[in-house]
Amino acid sequence: MVVRRPQPSTLVAVLVPTIVMSGIGLWGIDRGGMWRDEAVTVQVARRSLPQIWHLLHSVDVVHGLYYLLMHPVLAVHSGEVALRLPSLCAAAVTAGLVGALGARLARPRVGLWAGLLYAVTPMAGHFAQEGRSYALVAAGATGATLLLVRATDASKGDGGSRARGPGRHAPARHRHWHRHRHRHRHRHWHWYAYGGVVTVTVLLHELAVLLLLAHAVTLVLARMPRRVWWNWARAAGAVLLVLLPLALVSSGQSDQVAWLGPPGSGTVEDLLRSFAGPTQLVLGPYLLLIALALRSPLARRGELSLPAVALPLLLVPPAILLAVSRHWPLFHDRYVLYALAGAPLLAAAGADRLAGAAGARLGSPAAARGVATLLGVLAIALAFVSQLPVLREDRNPARRPDDLAALSAVAARRMSPGDPVLFLPAVVRRTAVAYPKGFQGVRDIALREPGPVSGTIYGREVGPGELRRRLDGLDRLWVVAEPYALRPARYPPEPAEQVKLAVVGEQFVPRAEFVRKGSVLRLYVRRPPPAA
Q: 464-520, pLDDT tens digit by residue?
A: 999 999 998 899 999 999 888 887 777 788 888 889 988 988 899 999 988 887 788
Per-residue pLDDT at 163 = 37
Mean per-residue pLDDT, 113-132: 96
Span of 19-28, 166-175, 209-218, 481-490 with lowest mean pLDDT:
166-175
Q: Is 37 exposed, middle or buried (0-12, 13-18, 19+ CB in 10 A)?
A: middle
- Residue 523, SS3? strand
- Examine the pLDDT at 164 and tell me if it is beyond 70: no
- Examine the pLDDT at 529 and tell me if it is beyond 90: no
Mean per-residue pLDDT, 373-401: 87
| Higher-scoring residue by pLDDT: 171, 31 | 31
- Examine the pLDDT at 2 and tell me if it is beyond 50: no
Per-residue pLDDT tens over the stretch 59-95: 999 999 999 999 999 998 888 899 999 999 999 999 9
Share of the chain above pLDDT 70, in %: 90
Per-residue pLDDT tens over the stretch 415-463: 999 999 999 988 899 889 888 888 999 999 999 999 999 998 889 999 9
- Examine the pLDDT at 413 and tell me if it is beyond 60: yes
- Examine the pLDDT at 350 and tell me if it is beyond 50: yes
Nearest to 390 by CA among 18, 125, 28: 125
Q: Are strands 443-444 and 420-424 parallel, antiparallel or unpaired?
A: parallel
Nearest to 119 by CA among 327, 341, 430, 423: 341
Looking at the whole model, is its pTM more than 0.85?
yes
Span of 106-115, 198-207, 272-281 with lowest mean pLDDT:
272-281
Mean per-residue pLDDT, 371-393: 88
Per-residue pLDDT at 480 = 93
Is residue 195 within 8 Å of residue 212, measured between CB atoms?
no
Give the H/E segment covering residue 480. strand 476-481
- Examine the pLDDT at 185 and tell me if it is beyond 60: no
- Examine the pLDDT at 375 and tell me if it is beyond 90: no
Cα separation, 325 vs 515, in Å, equals 34
Nearest to 415 by CA among 527, 309, 521, 525: 521
- Taking the C-alpha atoms of 79, 80, 83 and 89 in order, what is their torsion angle to the nearest 10 degrees? -120
Per-residue pLDDT at 374 = 81
HSE-up (13 A, CA, CB side) for residue 40: 21
Per-residue pLDDT at 187 = 63
For the chain, what is the radius of gyration of the CA atoms? 27
- Examine the pLDDT at 315 and tell me if it is beyond 60: yes
Count other Cβ atoms within 10 Å, centred on residue 476.
12
